Structure 1
């Protein structure tokens, strides 16, 4: 089983140095550079990753660019901040590859100080309307998602900001996908967070996801 791992990246050189030195052979990392100024793209190439560039800023824009660049049948998404071990993706990918699930979401099991309180609370609050819309109890909006590439493309996810993972789950649920959660260890990230590590970034992510839920008609 070969799996492409999409790693959206904005100034993550210190984390990539650790993350890409421990990649299982069956995983092929695709680093999507979203405008880094710290040499992340060059470092990723030196460490054996495929690098593609997405000039449009936004988490969803980077994720979608990586999805389109992938060629493996199964694709995983993971943060590039070294907060998770890529080897842990193997168990999630196996559920998809073996036909036990159509979408597997990594449910973060956080080490002390790994998950800021404001980000954890936002995740808990938003997971409730997500679960209602999906008609399936889900606990984590999840930077880690695994599914088949062609199926993901067919979903037609439109958001290009922080609402991308939420819209993926909602569209998958509407399409009748079998959605599962699986635990994944979550440790303190390397480097400075651009999104949920700050209160401002968390508020922006909440706004993006609320727009997906309300403006796009998933909840009323």
Structure 2
């Protein structure tokens, strides 16, 4: 049946040809256009991807729209900015397909030329440390390349539609008793400037969203 790959997209026209051109056989890209003004959606259609337009801005909104559009038993998520190599998707999806894990995250390994500012790495390390305490999973990175079962993820009923979506996924998966693993993937030079980690303000906004997710989980506990 293959595996659907959700690619949240906001003005990634420069990166999409490389990303979609390296999609492995059996992996079907679903590009979720979140209000691009650079023709990203048209480029994605021309390269054979399924395109979903999500008018409500937000990383989580785009991810969830792609999840709803997916039909495969296992679904993957990854950024569309060329910072991650689609050829490495089998590393992440393999344990889920084999029934060895329920959620696998790609632990990013910095490669020459890649930009991962200190403020972003510190924020990521802090969140990973808190996740280890809360989920008992040996996580070191809240990696954007990940794989899990589609129906099981829908049943978690994630509510965040901003940058807290990836964190909420892990928190709810841990609370549900999922087997959570990570595997190394290359972190490459991205195309353009990151909407999240490219500035201190963007990183603080993302961390703020994630703190709200944790606060909601604490209130529900």
TM-score (norm 1): 0.96
Tell me the secondary structure at the aligned position of residue 166 of structure 2.
Answer: helix
Matches within 5 A, 1:36-185: 36-112=36-112, 113-185=114-186
Shift of 1:116: 1.5
**4+ residue runs over 4 A deviation:** none
Q: 1:133, 1:218 within 8 Å by CA — same for their partners in 2?
A: no
Q: Is the 8 A contact 2:4 2:30 kept in 1?
A: yes
Partner of 1:6: 6
SS across alignment from 2:15: helix
Report how many aligned residue pairs link the two structures: 220
The separation in 1 between residues aligned to 2:21 and 2:93, in whole angstroms, is 20
CA shift digits 1:101-142 (9 cap, x unpaired): 000011000114431111111101111112111122311111
Secondary structure of 2:108's match?
strand
Gaps of 5+ in 2: none
Quick one: structure 1 residues 218 and 177, their matched pair in 2 at CA, closer, same or farther if it must change by over 3 Å? farther
Which runs of 5 or more structure 1 residues have no equivalent in the other structure?
none
Q: Give the stretch that moved more between structures: 39-48 or 88-97.
A: 88-97
CA distance, structure 1, for counterparts of residue 219 and residue 15 of structure 2: 35
CA contact (8 A) 2:137 2:181 kept: no
Distance in 2 (CA, whole Å) between partners of 1:39 and 1:21 is 17
In structure 1, C-alpha distance between the alignment counterparts of 2:174 and 2:90, rounded to whole Å: 23
CA–CA separation in structure 1 for the residues paired with 2:53 and 2:211 = 28
Q: SS where residue 217 of structure 1 aligns?
A: helix
Shift of 1:197: 1.4
The TM-score, its normalising length taken from structure 2, stands at 0.96
SS of 1:210 mapped into structure 2: helix
C-alpha deviation, 1:219, in angstroms: 9.7
Alignment of 1:195-206 (within 5 A): 195-206=196-207
* Distance in 2 (alpha carbons) for counterparts of 1:138 and 1:98: 20
Aligned-pair Cα RMSD in Å: 1.4
